[in-house]
Amino acid sequence: MKIQENISLKDKNWFKIGGNSKFFCEPQNEKNFQEAIEFANQNNLEIFVLGQGANILISDDGFDGLTIKPKLKNICIDKKLITTQAGVQIQDLIDFCLDNNLVGLEEFSCIPGTIGGSVFINIHYLDYFLSDFLVSAKVINKKSVEIKMVDKSWFNFGYDQSKLQNKEHFLVSATFELKKVDDIKTAYSKGRRDEIIRHRQRRYPTSNTCGSFFRNFHEDEIPFKINGKKITAVAYYLDKLGIKGELRVGNAIVSSKHANMLETLPNATSCDVINLAKEMQDLIQKKYGILPKTECQLIGFKNDPLNN
């Protein structure tokens, strides 16, 4: 495995913006992953583990540390259990499962990301969370560089949350328990996969975005009720502002498809996205007195520019 220097991250994330990483590597196996972390520890470097780059915003100044993009891509099946390494893309895993009559994960069809990133953020769609299916995993400790097995409870999963976000451990592989079904039920699940993909591609932008930029509110963050109910969906408030396809700062614009999704135009910068997000925060805070927090992961910023 080679440790590269001064590598552009612009072509490695969905926004297609951001600066260079001081160091960069692509471990092919567990030993490589350990070697990469040892290199970071020996050189006192911050570590950023990069998946498909679909839920991140990288600073224009880049990342002054080691970016690790895992290429660990093994998948194995043991009856209803499927174990997949961190570098496998979630859609590839879904398709592999359906080809082997294992169903459940198709609920996350068309959500971009690797297994590592998907477990990190605990991806969700409607009433389903990835943590509903995870039973155990293999993680690597940043300080000791030791690899150990952990169970689901270790992760402290929540909405957009997992213990991995402490960045003291990194995912090596994950094991999911699915349902083994016959060909007819599998065909139904494949149809559901296709319909979810069609729905998401029609409803959401499919490039130059990070997906949902702000997370939904927690109930205790909403000090008022609308028609007797606390509305936690941040998109509800953004829709009320009438900014879809209209609000633009520099070469960053609010998507015409979804008010909580930002898109980058040619020659956009991360600064454009940050300034657009700030304006969205200001508009909601002035009208409703509540401040949206980011779901998008901010990488390489010296200080938090959005008051998370």
Q: In what order do the strands lie in the sheet with 147-151?
A: 75-78, 81-85, 169-177, 134-141, 147-151
Q: Are residues 127 and 190 in the same domain?
A: yes
Rg of the chain on CA atoms, in Å = 20
pLDDT at residue number 237: 97
**From the CB of residue 306, how many other CB atoms can be counted at a distance below 10 Å?**
19
Q: Are residues 238 and 281 in the same domain?
A: yes
Q: Which domain holds residue 170?
A: 75-203
Longest dimension (CA), the chain: 59
Convert the pLDDT of each residue in 190-249 to its tens digit: 999 999 999 999 999 999 999 999 999 999 999 999 999 999 999 999 999 999 999 999
Q: Is residue 171 part of a domain?
A: yes
Residue after which a domain boundary falls, among 149, 176, 203 = 203
Instruction: List phi, psi (to 5°) of 119.
Output: -70, -40
pTM for this predicted structure: 0.94
- Rounded Cα distance, 102 and 89, in Å: 17
283's tokens: 């508009």
Q: Is residue 209 part of a domain?
A: no
pLDDT at residue number 234: 97
pLDDT at residue number 185: 98
Q: Is residue 192 part of a domain?
A: yes
Helix (H) or strand (E) holding 98: helix 90-99
Residue after which a domain boundary falls, among 203, 233, 263 = 203
Which amino acid type is present at position 46?
Answer: E
74's tokens: 């093994």
Q: Is residue 120 part of a domain?
A: yes
Q: Are residues 236 and 280 in the same domain?
A: yes
Report the domain count for the chain: 3
Of 88, 102, 288, 272, which Cα lies nearest the Cα of 179?
Answer: 102
pLDDT mean for each 10 residues of the chain (308 residues)? 96 98 98 98 98 96 98 96 98 98 97 96 93 98 98 95 96 98 98 96 94 94 95 96 97 97 98 98 97 96 91
Buried b (16+ CB within 10 A) or exposed e, 121-154: bbbbeeeebbbbbbebbbbbeeeeeebeeeebeb
Q: Is residue 305 part of a domain?
A: no
* Domain of residue 265, CATH code: 3.90.78.10
* Domain of residue 61, CATH code: 3.30.43.10
pLDDT at residue number 5: 98
Mean pLDDT computed over every residue of the chain: 97
pLDDT at residue number 1: 82
Q: Is residue 123 part of a domain?
A: yes
pLDDT at residue number 64: 98
- Rounded Cα distance, 206 and 210, in Å: 9
Q: Is residue 250 part of a domain?
A: yes
* Domain of residue 100, CATH code: 3.30.465.10
pLDDT at residue number 308: 79
